[in-house]
Amino acid sequence: MDTNELKRKLEIKGAGSSLKQSLAIDVGSLAHTAQFLRDEPNWQMDDLENISAFEMKGDILLTYFLKSSSTGKTMVLRATVTPKTETSEVDAVSVSHLWAIAIPLEQEISELFGVRFQGGKTRPHQVLPEGWRGFPLRKSYVFPIEFASIKHQRHEHE
């Protein structure tokens, strides 16, 4: 059963026409795929709605939500990056040259998850305060004992 046949069957089962296209792609081909989807006349994905990230079993899943303002079509791209260690940074490809709205989204993911977007415009510490160490939304992240001489615990004995 191919994807289109599955989609037709699900629509008959009651999912309706709300089903969206979703592509799981390799992170290396992300920029090329995104550019193709933006420039292809049949798709014209000229709008990036959001980039989300979450960590699952050591992998960081990046999800790109695309939309075409002319055709109304939507699409989801998903790419996975795997850090070498629990605390190390990992590389991905930036799409900020295709959609400018990607700049703040990549900035946030960069600081909170430790994903370096190659070719992007991320700068150190826009979301987190200066001097912050580690990536807070990683599963392995341990809360600081203190930051900027402020103890994180309420009481000394905790």
Partner 1 sequence: MSGNFFSSTLSKAIEWARAGSLWYVSVGSGCCGDEVMETVGCRYDLERFGCVPQVNPEQADLLIVSGITSYKAAPHLRALYDAMLSPKYVLAVGACASCGGAFSPESSYSVVAGVDKIIPVDVYVPGCPPRPEAIMNGLITLQEKIRGYQRTQTEA
Q: Which residues of the shown chain bind partner 1 in the complex (CB under 8 A)?
A: 128-129, 132, 136, 141, 143-144, 147-148, 150-154, 158
Nearest approach, Cβ of residue 34 and partner 1 (Å): 31
Nearest approach, Cβ of residue 55 and partner 1 (Å): 15
Considering the complex, state which of residue 32 and residue 152 has its C-beta at the smaller distance from partner 1: 152
Measured CA to CA in angstroms, residue 128 lies from 76, 77, 112, 136 at distances of 28, 27, 8, 9
Measured CA to CA in angstroms, residue 31 lies from 19, 55, 65, 71, 80 at distances of 24, 21, 14, 22, 14
Nearest approach, Cβ of residue 50 and partner 1 (Å): 22
Considering the complex, state which of residue 2 and residue 156 has its C-beta at the smaller distance from partner 1: 156
Considering the complex, state which of residue 41 and residue 143 has its C-beta at the smaller distance from partner 1: 143
Q: Which residue has the tokens 């930036």?
A: 94
Considering the complex, state which of residue 1 and residue 148 has its C-beta at the smaller distance from partner 1: 148
Spatial distance between the Cα atoms of 40 and 138, rounded to a whole number of angstroms: 36
Nearest approach, Cβ of residue 132 and partner 1 (Å): 8
